Structure 1
Amino acid sequence: MGQLDNKVALVTGATTGIGLASAKRLAVEGAHVFVTGRRKPELDAAVAEIRTAAGDRVTGVASDVSKHDDLDALFAAIEQFGRGLDIVHANAGGGELAALEEITPQMLDHTFGINVAGTVFTVQKALPLLNAGATIVLTGSTSATDGTPNFSVYAATKAAIRSFGRTWAAELAQRGIRVNTIVPGPTNTPGLAQLAPTPEDAPGLLGMIASGVPLGRLGEPDEIANAVLFLASSQSSFMTGGEIFVDGGVRQI
């Protein structure tokens, strides 16, 4: 018996990193997990990896959360599955480094389109399918509360996510739906490595970031996924509107 037997979950941005680890963890615990990603080859590889770990409890849907037509197709597929939704992990997101003078309208629109609008409309379009007692997990970031130079656009989107989590928790409480935010610290994902100017620079960047973590290392996606499972399961039944920091002490010490 798993913690999530007979549950149906959605994890967006699940082709790599935290999203993939979370989707796999939820599936291993018994949920049937719908996973999304923008690039079909990477999505197919993620689905294959989850199947290896958890059997056939996974459905991949190529989808870009910043595109309404894609979201409509995604939720049509979930509705056709016929069991509603018990867990939504709105995880899709990304960002890039840019100093204030380097920010362009295109950069702003792109990052807010995925991280903010994508999260809003993922959750909004999920509402009609949410079963009683459903849980929503948002992916935040420690950058929402610090002042990392050259990362202001991404940080602003994650500050918005934190605000959404509080407000939506209040709005949805009468339906018995809980909303919480997972706040990863620096995590060993392809997305973090891609912040380096070149692939050759990535090890140096990751080492520098790790040196600023009190535990002296980067987090691993599986460690974040363990906390996502807690928020997605009945183990966190008296928790809503909150945050769980899985950050190696970055914001705590």
Structure 2
Amino acid sequence: MGKYEGKKVVITGGSTGFGLVTARLLVDEGARVLITGRGQDALDAAAERLGGNAVAVRSDAGELAEIDALADRVKAEFGTVDALFANAGINGFAPFEETGEELFDQLMAINAKGPYFTVQKLAPLLAEGSGVVFTTSVVNVLGIPALSAYAAGKAAVRSMTRSLARELLPRKVRVNAVSPGPIDSGILLKSMPREAAEQMKAGMAAENPMGRVGRPEEVARAVLFLAFEATFTTGAELAVDGGGSQI
């Protein structure tokens, strides 16, 4: 019997990156997993990799109507949920002076509004003792150029981690956040040319106290710890960043 046998888990943004890796670890240990993503091709590929214990649902984390539809689908598939990983998000690089309203609104819609309402709509389905895990980022405590709007959205998620942890206590639901630093998740390749992404990754490794970037599996293991093992922890943020935000 697997470690997560019989557990039912929802992962938004689960078709790529450490969302997909988290889903893989869960499925390998017996869980049933519902993943979401915006791209159908990536979802189809993820579903094929994960096998029969996974359900892949196209859903835009920035659209409230689609979050409502997702909650209905989760209820139909699972009934109740043992863990929710509110992970869907996008990156966005622009100097402060060049950040326009469209980019700002898109980042806030998907990175802040999306996780907030995802938890709100799925909260009635969370089983007693379940865990919610948000994805924040070390940029919510570090002043990094060209990431001001992205950082603001992630700081909002850090704040709602505390607020929702308090509000969901009566339901015996824990709410925590994982805060990745430089992780080789492939997200840079989605927002810039390969050569620029590789240069940025090399620069982040050189600046990191551990001298490298992290692996998606390292984030996934932290997520599973917060979701299932950290039973006396709520409102916390766990940095997975090679010490970059801590030392």
TM-score, with normalisation over the residues of structure 2? 0.96
Aligned to 1:187: 183
State the alpha-carbon separation in 2 of the partners of residues 179 and 213 from structure 1: 28
Whether the 8 Å contact between 1:95 and 1:154 is mirrored in structure 2 is yes
- Does residue 141 of structure 1 match 2:137? yes
**1:1-253 residue pairs with structure 2 within 5 A?**
1-51=1-51, 56-196=52-192, 198-233=193-228, 235-253=229-247
Which deviates more from structure 2 when the two are superposed, residues 34-43 or residues 82-91? Answer: 82-91
Counterparts in 2 of 1:96 and 1:158: CA distance versus 1, 3 Å: same
Structure 1 regions of 5+ residues with no counterpart?
A: none
Q: Deviations over 1:79-98 (max 9, x none)?
A: 11243111100000112111
State the alpha-carbon separation in 2 of the partners of residues 82 and 202 from structure 1: 39
State the alpha-carbon separation in 2 of the partners of residues 60 and 219 from structure 1: 26
**What is the RMSD computed on CA atoms of the aligned residues?**
1.2
Kindly provide the amino acid, as one letter, of the partner of residue 251 in structure 1: S
How far residue 201 of structure 1 moved from its aligned partner, in angstroms, is 2.1
Structure 2 regions of 5+ residues with no counterpart?
A: none
Q: Deviations over 1:110-163 (max 9, x none)?
A: 000000110111000001111111110000100000000111000001111110
1:15 aligned counterpart, secondary structure = coil
Which deviates more from structure 2 when the two are superposed, residues 236-245 or residues 143-152? Answer: 236-245
1:207 aligned counterpart, secondary structure = helix
How far residue 195 of structure 1 moved from its aligned partner, in angstroms, is 4.3
Which deviates more from structure 2 when the two are superposed, residues 29-38 or residues 142-151? Answer: 29-38
State the alpha-carbon separation in 1 of the partners of residues 245 and 36 from structure 2: 30
State the alpha-carbon separation in 1 of the partners of residues 244 and 235 from structure 2: 21
State the alpha-carbon separation in 1 of the partners of residues 83 and 151 from structure 2: 25
How far residue 194 of structure 1 moved from its aligned partner, in angstroms, is 3.7
TM-score, with normalisation over the residues of structure 1? 0.94
2:109 aligned counterpart, secondary structure = helix
Kindly provide the amino acid, as one letter, of the partner of residue 219 in structure 1: G
State the alpha-carbon separation in 1 of the partners of residues 78 and 215 from structure 2: 34
State the alpha-carbon separation in 1 of the partners of residues 239 and 194 from structure 2: 29
1:203 aligned counterpart, secondary structure = helix
State the alpha-carbon separation in 2 of the partners of residues 80 and 33 from structure 1: 13
Whether the 8 Å contact between 1:34 and 1:61 is mirrored in structure 2 is yes
Whether the 8 Å contact between 1:194 and 1:202 is mirrored in structure 2 is no
